[in-house]
């Protein structure tokens, strides 16, 4: 009974998780099914007893799926977030990042805080492969970006500082274009689009042109779009630029909720200290170098400051 109950709980857990399992038919002469999760992880090899009645066979298949989900969850909990070692990059002779080493923990909200020109956008561009490092190594979700950039990009959701919506297209058309860039199409893409729009409370605005949306809503569409392919890591580069205070607060809250509910690893680059929450992890970047990294409370105690603003000012002010 316990086993069956666990199966039903796991299955409902799976349905709520939004993860998809693709089950491949056995190859000729074999009886094993192979299950692949939408995260790209290969699940269990399923070998249901063929003589069973259809209902029992379906139950057996479901049981294997639930077990595979459990394994996937366990693997995801062990999953590394981002690991950067000795990263350097320069524009000509002007250094943008110098020997940056840092870790972004899995399923955590990490704020990358730095003043303008600190190197945040360069770091984001390096993380998503728009530029390649001159020195150093980047691992994203355990994948070496230098060797497996495409596999890493498949698992990554990105929101860039400049708005990247096509203003002449509707919200759904923008989402469909992005889905196509990720190789998704047809009913699968449509279902994902609706799920993501609902998740970000945008379903009713799906038919509107992006041009008619406010700045805050456009950003939410971009976040919904970045979640379309169920990424494990979400990188946002100053997503609140140009937004009013309530829209900024709502956006920060939304992304924190995504992180907490889905176990999503989030890297949020910003220069605004009020976007950093007490429970977050914080990386302070200044003039291309890491000045502090760790949980916010730890940094506050190390610096002897009472607020993030004070610590940030302290860490980024040059001595006269």
H/E run at residue 22:
strand 21-24
Contacts with another protein by CB under 8 A: the residue count is 40
CB of 49 to another protein, least distance (A): 28
Using CB under 8 A, pick the residue from 162, 246, 304, 319 that binds another protein: 162
173 binds another protein (CB under 8 A): yes
Which class for 225: exposed (0-12), middle (13-18), buried (19 or more C-beta within 10 A)?
buried
66 binds another protein (CB under 8 A): no
Window 92 to 111, contacts with another protein (CB under 8 A): 96
| Pairwise CA distance, residues 83 & 139, whole Å | 5
Distance (Å) of CA 132 to CA 123, 146, 181, 296: 10, 8, 21, 30
SS3 of 26-47: the string is: CCCCCCCEEEEECCCCEEEEEC
75 binds another protein (CB under 8 A): no
φ and ψ at residue 163, rounded to 5 degrees: -70, 135
Using CB under 8 A, pick the residue from 66, 97, 100, 158 that binds another protein: 158
180 binds another protein (CB under 8 A): yes
Window 21 to 40, contacts with another protein (CB under 8 A): 22
Using CB under 8 A, pick the residue from 8, 74, 77, 166 that binds another protein: 166
CB of 172 to another protein, least distance (A): 12
Window 109 to 148, contacts with another protein (CB under 8 A): 121-122, 124-125, 128-132
Closest CA to 63 of 35, 104, 26: 35
Window 182 to 211, contacts with another protein (CB under 8 A): 182-186, 189
């Amino acid at each position: 009974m316990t086993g069956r109950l666990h199966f039903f709980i796991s299955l409902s857990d799976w349905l709520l998780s939004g993860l998809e399992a693709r089950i491949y038919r056995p190859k000729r002469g074999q009886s094993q099914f192979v299950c692949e999760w939408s995260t790209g992880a290969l699940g269990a090899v399923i070998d249901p007893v063929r003589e069973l009645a259809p209902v029992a066979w379906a139950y057996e298949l479901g049981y294997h799926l639930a077990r595979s989900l459990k394994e996937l969850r366990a693997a995801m909990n062990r999953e590394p977030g981002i690991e950067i070692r000795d990263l350097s990059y320069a524009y000509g002779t002007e250094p943008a990042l110098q020997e940056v080493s840092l870790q972004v923990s899995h399923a955590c909200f990490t704020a990358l805080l730095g003043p303008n020109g600190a190197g945040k956008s360069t770091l984001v561009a390096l993380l998503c492969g728009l530029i390649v490092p001159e020195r150093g190594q980047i691992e994203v979700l355990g994948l070496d970006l230098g060797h497996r950039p495409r596999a890493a990009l498949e698992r990554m959701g990105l929101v860039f500082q400049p708005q990247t919506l096509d203003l002449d297209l509707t919200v759904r058309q923008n989402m469909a274009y992005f889905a196509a860039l990720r190789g998704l199409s047809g009913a699968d893409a449509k279902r994902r689009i609706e799920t993501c729009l609902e998740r970000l409370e945008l379903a009713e605005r799906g038919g509107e042109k992006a041009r008619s949306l406010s700045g805050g809503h456009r950003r939410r569409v971009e976040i919904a779009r970045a979640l379309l392919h169920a990424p494990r890591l979400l990188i946002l580069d100053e997503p609140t630029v140009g937004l009013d205070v309530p829209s900024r607060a709502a956006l920060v809250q939304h992304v924190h909720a995504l992180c907490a509910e889905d176990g999503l690893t989030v890297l949020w680059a910003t220069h605004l200290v009020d976007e950093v929450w007490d429970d977050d992890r914080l990386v302070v970047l200044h003039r291309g170098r890491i000045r502090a990294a760790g949980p916010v409370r730890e940094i506050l105690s190390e610096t002897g400051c009472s607020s993030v603003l004070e610590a940030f000012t302290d860490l980024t002010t040059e001595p006269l």
